Amino acid sequence: MLLEIDNLSVRYRTRRGVLNAVDDLSLSVARGETLGLVGESGCGKSSLGRAIVGLVDLVGGTVRLDGKDINGLTHRQSLTWRRRMQMVFQDPLSALDPRKTVRRTLTIPLDVHRISTSAERHERVDALLHRVGLAPALAGRLPHELSGGQRQRVNIARALSLDPDVLICDEPVSALDVSLQAQVLNLLADLQRERAITGLFISHDLAAVSYVADRIAVMYLGQIVEILSRDELWHHAAHPYTQLLIDSIPGQGARLPTPSSVELPNPYEPPRGCRFEQRCPRAMPVCRETPPALSELGGGHVVACHLYDDIALRPSSAGKTWPIHEVTETTASRSI
Ligand code: SF4
């Protein structure tokens, strides 16, 4: 695995108390793979992305890149290792310096890391612009002179300028018009294929995640509740929360009973048992008292839900189909 996250926790102190935004979370991403991370707003997925690239402090756990624990490095060591991981942020305008032209924005990372001569940098910036579908004539413009889609392409070009091994995209299309979302998603999918970049694609939009990701991790209230492949998603999603996310895609039609509540529980005082229990249409008495652990269903499909307590431990569960959810991928793709 290229990127390994073990028992990672992120905590914020606020006026209301201590918020465990990411709670003892583990996952890994193989070289060249794109892992989608999906969940509702406030579930901690952006905090996880920021913790991986060192923008927020961890209160526990490790982040390993190529086997190297990148916490606790010196500033100099950290520069080298963190160069290998780049991030594309949600708001393309605020991620850019309003006083810097596109060319300057794309040249700064090359200057900082002393990559190429100045003539080579000019060519390299032109090549980057070309690759993300921007005309070199835009290089002299300031961010406010670009459209939203063009700004996000500049952000993607900046992230690619250092040839990263890992690209973390945090809601990269949610601030864009619907017409631009598909263009940027197609660009990211093309880039990941052609450069074999390892990706972490964070979004609240399950359809968008499934468009670019090989595997999908579903997050709820700071924890992973299911990890499954894109192929399994539409037909074999096992966790009731994943199924509700699928049902919420427009045109999908609800296939589960209506959830008991649509409100997220108080994140400052998460439920003692399963954190989804208050909203789960399949909740059982055990769910209120005992948190479910992640269990393997087979083929790398893991789920944290008491519905599978008996099934999960059996070796014969590999390849089993879960009869709970059946939808067509075509229907889901239409909503992108
Ligand atoms: Fe629902 Fe219980 Fe599974 Fe939680 S553990 S998702 S409450 S069935």
List pLDDT tens digits, range 147-161. Answer: 988 999 999 999 989
**Ligand 1 pocket, residue 307 CB under 6 Å:** yes
Looking at residue 225, its amino acid is V
Distances (CA, A) of 173 to 188, 215, 248, 267: 10, 19, 19, 26
**Ligand 1 pocket, residue 282 CB under 6 Å:** yes
- Per DSSP, what are the bridge partners of residue 229? 215
With the most atoms of ligand 1 within 8 angstroms of its CB, the residue from 286, 287, 303 to mutate is 287
Helical H runs in the chain?
45-52, 75-83, 102-112, 118-131, 148-160, 178-195, 206-212, 230-236, 240-247, 285-289, 309-312, 329-333
- Ligand 1 center from residue 214 Cα (angstroms): 25
Sketch out the chain's domains with CATH numbers. Answer: 3-213 (3.40.50.300), 219-333 (3.40.50.300)
**Which ligand 1 atom sits nearest the alpha carbon of residue 239?**
6
Distance from CA of residue 18 to its chain's centroid? 24
Q: Sorting pLDDT into bands at 50, 70 and 90, what band is 258?
A: low
CB atoms within 10 A of CB 29: 23
**Ligand 1 pocket, residue 292 CB under 6 Å:** yes
Residue bearing tokens 């067509």: 328
Mean pLDDT, the chain, rounded, equals 85
- What is the biggest distance separating any 2 CA atoms in the chain, rounded to whole angstroms? 68
Q: Which is nearest to 298 in space by CA: 241, 209, 232, 218?
A: 232
Cβ atoms 249, 207 nearer than 8 A? yes
Which pLDDT does position 61 carry in this prediction?
A: 93
Is 217's pLDDT higher than 70? yes
Q: Please state, in angstroms and rounded to a whole number, the distance separating the CA atoms of residues 297 and 305.
A: 11
Which pLDDT does position 79 carry in this prediction?
A: 77
| Stretch among 80-84, 140-144, 311-315, 323-327 having the lowest mean pLDDT | 323-327
Q: What is the mean pLDDT of residues 75-102?
A: 87
Ramachandran class of 222: left when φ > 0, alpha when ψ lies in -120 to 50, beta otherwise: left
List pLDDT tens digits, range 178-194. Answer: 777 888 888 888 888 88
List pLDDT tens digits, range 288-321. Answer: 999 999 999 988 999 999 999 877 555 444 444 4
Which pLDDT does position 254 carry in this prediction?
A: 52
Q: Sorting pLDDT into bands at 50, 70 and 90, what band is 255?
A: low
Is 207's pLDDT higher than 50? yes
- Report pTM: 0.86
Concatenating the DSSP letter of every residue in 267-308 gives TTS--SS-TTTTT-TT--HHHHHSPPPPEEEETTEEE--GGG
Q: Please state, in angstroms and rounded to a whole number, the distance separating the CA atoms of residues 257 and 104.
A: 54
Radius of gyration of the chain (CA): 21
For 18, the token pair is: 């201590």
Which pLDDT does position 319 carry in this prediction?
A: 47
More confident residue, 319 or 119: 119
Distances (CA, A) of 146 to 43, 77, 150, 245: 32, 36, 6, 34
Distance from CA of residue 201 to its chain's centroid? 3
**Which ligand 1 atom sits nearest the alpha carbon of residue 281?**
1
Q: Please state, in angstroms and rounded to a whole number, the distance separating the CA atoms of residues 141 and 314.
A: 60
Q: Which is nearest to 5 in space by CA: 73, 65, 62, 82?
A: 62
